[in-house]
Structures are given as structure tokens and as C-alpha cells.
Amino acid sequence: MRRSRGLSVVVAAIMALGAVELAPARSAAQAPLTVRPASRYHKLPLAYAGFNAPFRRNSWQARSARLHEAVAGLQPGAIRVFGGTTANYWDWRSGKLLDLPGVPPRIRMVAREMSPIYLSDWAKLVKDANAIPVFDLNLVTSTLPDQLEMLSAAEKLGMPIRRIELGNELYYAAPRVVRAFPTPASYGREATRWIAAVKARYPKAQIAAVGLGYPPRAGDQRQARWDRAVRRTVHGESALTFHASSHGWPP
């Protein structure tokens, strides 16, 4: 399969362990949280493998027939709707990223140039791929009622509401993120409120809160406290999401 020039769809593996043990530290100042298998590994179903499509500078390709053909051939189990960090700044009604003060400059720059990608475009991509959508909700620049409306609209377009993430990379101290969640504990408490509201409407949905999962940056107290504080304050979650490494795009 040839890759269309400029296509920047990021292929990722969505993985989970059947059981893990979280080794507690004796104090918050000690080594970061570690994860080790609690049982023998087992194979993951294909539905756990998929890709992330942020559509930053290549938004025009979201409707490309070549992309849809390639995605159908790839046969992903899941497609992450609204991408990763972009989900924190996505306006599903306008189909564009937000150009607002406090939004990371790289996101604002893309927002001014991108073509709209509407929920119906995502629905077609998911349908053509015969995949399950993983909705990454916007807890930073949207509201709970607005995101519930988005899920309702997605369901009407034929997208099942089965898997949900509550934001992405919120341990980074981006201005809008810190405004929404000054501390890791504040995120855990707000995530609990969102979980209860989403479960009330979609009781079978699996909902994941944001975890860090790798050693924090030196001197970054927000990251150093993140996993423990979130675990203490979030309730009702199905899982925590973790990045496999620290390599990525900080805000």
C-alpha cells in the first residue's frame, strides 16, 4: 500500500494488560509509580489495535477517497476520534480546532488554516474502516453538556458509544489545561463527575481517565504527582490511559 504524500495519520497500538499490580511508593517524593504484570500475558483481540488521526496540517485529506480506501484495507479495530492532544481544543460543531488565547500556538496556527472536519466525516471514516470509534472528549475547552450532545450526535450518525477517553496529556502544563485542572486531584474529581454523567446515558461504555505512565520530567511536580493523585480522586473509571514513552509533542 502506497502512502499518500503529506498524509500524517499516526498509527498506534491500543494495548491493555489483563491484570496489573501498581507498586506503591512509601512517599510521594520517592520513585514514580511502577507497573508490573500480575499474571501471564494473553493475546489481545484485534479490536484493541487501531490508529490515531489528528488531522492537523492535512485536514483536507480527511475526505480523501484514497485515505478511506487505505483505511478499509488496513482494517483497524479502532479509530481514535478527534485525535490526541488536539481533542482538548476541538470544536465538533465547527469541525475545527480553536483559535483562542491560551491554546498552544501550534494548534492556533493550524486552526487558522485547516479545512473543517465534521462529525459526519469521522462517521464515514469509521464506517468505511468497519472500526469502533474511541471518543477522546474535550474536557479543556468544552463542557460536559456539550460533549454529551456530541456523543448523541455521533450515535445518530451510526457510531457506537463503547469506548471513551476523558481528555489527553492533561499532565502537561498548557495554559488552558492548567486553567481547567490546576492540580491532578482536580482532574480526578472532575473526571469522576463526567464518568457518572456519561455512564447514566451510556451504561455499557468503557471510560478511561488520563494517566502518565512514564517517568516525569525532571522538576515537573505536576507530572510527578499525576498518577497517584488521579488514582486517589477518580472513581468509576474502567481504565487509565498511558503513553508507552515520553516522546511526543509537549504543548
Give me the CATH number covering residue 177.
3.20.20
Confidence (pLDDT) at 133: 95
Average pLDDT over residues 72-95: 92
**Residues 82, 135: contact at Cβ < 8 Å?**
yes
This prediction has a pTM of: 0.81
Q: What's the whole-number mean pLDDT along residues 20-37? A: 56
165-219 pLDDT tens trace:
999 999 999 999 999 999 999 999 999 999 999 999 999 999 999 999 888 989 9
- pLDDT at res. 8: 32
> Using CA atoms, how far apart are residues 91 and 147, in angstroms rounded to an integer?
10
Q: What is the pLDDT of residue 112?
A: 93
Residue 247 belongs to a domain = no
Residue 60 domain-assigned?
yes
At 22, is the pLDDT very low, low, confident or very high (cuts 50, 70, 90)? very low
pLDDT at 74 over 70: yes
Pairwise CA distance, residues 217 & 101, whole Å: 26
Q: Could you tell me if residue 10 is inside a domain?
A: no
C-alpha cell at 66: 484514497
**Parent domain of 88:** 30-241
In a domain, 19, yes or no: no
Least confident span in 57-71, 154-168, 203-217, 231-245: 57-71
Q: What integer pLDDT is reported at residue 98 of this predicted model?
A: 96
Which residue, among 50, 43, 40, has the nearest Cα to 13 in the 3D structure? 50
What is the end-to-end Cα distance of the chain in Å, rounded?
33
| Average model confidence (pLDDT) across the chain | 85
Integer Cα distance of 212 and 230 in angstroms: 10
Q: Which of 11-25, 60-74, 202-216, 225-239 has the lowest mean pLDDT?
A: 11-25
pLDDT score of 223 more than 50: yes
CB 212 within 8 A of CB 179: no
Q: What's the pLDDT band for 14 if we cut at 50, 70, 90?
A: very low
pLDDT bin (cut points 50, 70, 90) of residue 47 is confident
b (16+ CB within 10 A) / e for 193-222: ebbeebbeebeebebbbbbbbbebeeeeeb
Question: Could you give the number of structural domains in the chain?
Answer: 1
Domain membership flag for residue 13? no
Residue 6 lies in a domain: no
pLDDT at residue 16, as a whole number:
38
1 part of a folded domain: no
Domain-embedded: residue 8: no
Orientation angle between helical segments 144-156 and 119-129, nearest 10 degrees = 50
- The lowest-confidence range among 98-102, 121-125, 245-249 is 245-249
Q: Under a CB-based contact definition with an 8 Å cutoff, are residues 150 and 90 in contact?
A: no
